[in-house]
Amino acid sequence: MNPRHNRILNLTGFWLLGLCNNYGYVVMLSAAFDLLKKDYHSDEQASQSSNQTTTCNPVSTGAVLIADIIPSLSIKLIAPFLSLSTHFKVLLVITLSAASFLLTALSLSPFMTYCGIVCASLSSGLGEVTFLGYSSLFDPNVVSTWSSGTGGAGLLGSFSYAGLTSFGLSPRNTLLVMLIVPLLMAFTFWSLIVPPPKRNSEREPIHLSHSSSPDLEVLDDDKSSKLTLSFGEKILVLKKLLKFMIPLGLVYYFEYFINQGLFEILYFANTSLEHAEQYRWYQVIYQAGVLISRSSVNIFKIKYLWLLPILQGLNVLLLLIQILSPFIPFIYIVFGIILYEGLLGGAAYVNTFYRISVESSPRHKEFSMSVTTLADSTGIMLAGFTSIPAHNALCFCNNYGYVVMLSATLDLLKKDYHSDEVIRTRVFSTLTLQQTSQSSNQIITAGIKLFTMLVYLSLDLL
């Protein structure tokens, strides 16, 4: 085969590896709402009218996020420091991926379900470390196609789950159909990708003339012929990578706090979509944004990575205000905000790894690419832990605590709070948020809710 043909096969192969590697992880998050229900194996999904649908599960979907990320983070911490055969690691990735779909589909208990989620997490984490490290042996553009593939996994995974379940296929059968994904991964790695030539540790470093990182250049060691890095050298490289890892971790913290802490409470009653369907399509739209931005690095590059966590933090604030005091009239506006959220997350991921791939010396590149995956996983893990108490606090302050504190506060203010024209509080049997009829009372209501949430959150954390 000629080099051009090999290059096309490898670019395509890494896109498929990114797709297969993240597919199970995304599906578990998309199915989180169903996995938390006791009857999610039922072939007949119960339909609820808009005035009977609640906005809170007894357990936050952040619980699924934690089960879906802690094993991944653990394996990412260990794997870069171990010397294992790439083929052996890929075999583990494929086995764990298949086990995740089987365990969650055939689950007879919550424990079995969470074991399946853990397998998906281990598969995704080990796969990301393995394939990103392996990509250091190829053309730098495979990082772009890998990132695009992971974005494709987000969109295809969330869309396929939401679509198949919406068309009547049960969650159980949907998960069984998805067993084709680990088979596709095996075919791609062992049959499609053309193995690279033997690595030469003496080759010259690769740098971008206009954007090389001085911090990483300091780490170049052309005089050394030793390919394996010592533990001390790895720690030194890790310190130099913090300027990439911290922004990436913050972006992922904010976006997964939104996805698993706020999505299930962002409920709109004035739409034909049921509550569970709204959650699924939030995930689909978010993943569409991720796919677009992860595929854009060859067209548009972002130099100032610190800007991205700031913008993502503003998204958290905006959606939190919407939950506390609804002001967005239509769900389609929230769809646009979620698409933008996905664009920011995908841009942070692909620009971070692309810059590392072109600014690192060949000797440090494989370790640098592997260890940086800790950043996004750490952010996701922290989001999982904080989204659970935040979910509980928001559900509390939007219901009983909110009504009690609102009544007491308005009593102190000596307002004519009994008038229907001043404020309409909702009944205890529904968790649907309603707006007050006057903007001044909306501000008071939002302040009371925010204070109640903070008090509840503090007590919950204690």
Q: How many residues does the chain have?
A: 462
DSSP 42-97: -SSPPP--TTT--S--SS-THHHHHHHHHHHHHHHHHGGGS---HHHHHHHHHHHH
* pLDDT tens per residue across span 66-85: 777 788 888 988 887 777 89
Give the residue extent of every domain in the chain. 3-196+229-395, 398-461
DSSP state letter for 262: I
Token digits for 13?
A: 């192969």
Which secondary structure element, helix H or strand E, spans residue 421, and what is its range? none
pLDDT band at 380 (very low <50, low <70, confident <90, very high): confident
pLDDT (tens digit per residue) in 95-131: 999 999 999 999 888 889 889 989 999 999 999 999 9
Note the pLDDT tens digit of each residue in 202-248. Answer: 444 434 444 444 444 434 434 433 457 888 888 899 999 999 999 99
**Residue 342, CB-side half-sphere exposure with 13 Å CA sphere:** 27
φ and ψ at residue 53, rounded to 5 degrees: -80, 130
Q: Which CATH architecture has domain 3-196+229-395?
A: Up-down Bundle (1.20)
Q: How far is CA 202 from CA 142, 214, 406, in A?
A: 22, 21, 70
- 139-148 burial, b for 16+ CB within 10 Å, e for fewer? bebbbbbbbb
pTM over 0.85: no
At 59 the pLDDT is 61
3-state SS of 353-406 is HHHHHHHCCHHHHHHHHHHCHHHHHHHHHHHHHHHHHHHHHHHHHCCHHHHHHH
Buried b (16+ CB within 10 A) or exposed e, 390-400: bbbbbbbbbbe
Q: Cα dist. 201→222, 225, 364 in Å? A: 8, 6, 10
CA nearest 403: which of 366, 370, 430? 430
pLDDT, one tens digit per residue, over 261-288 is: 898 888 898 888 888 788 888 988 998 8
User: Cα separation of 422 and 25, whole Å?
Assistant: 47
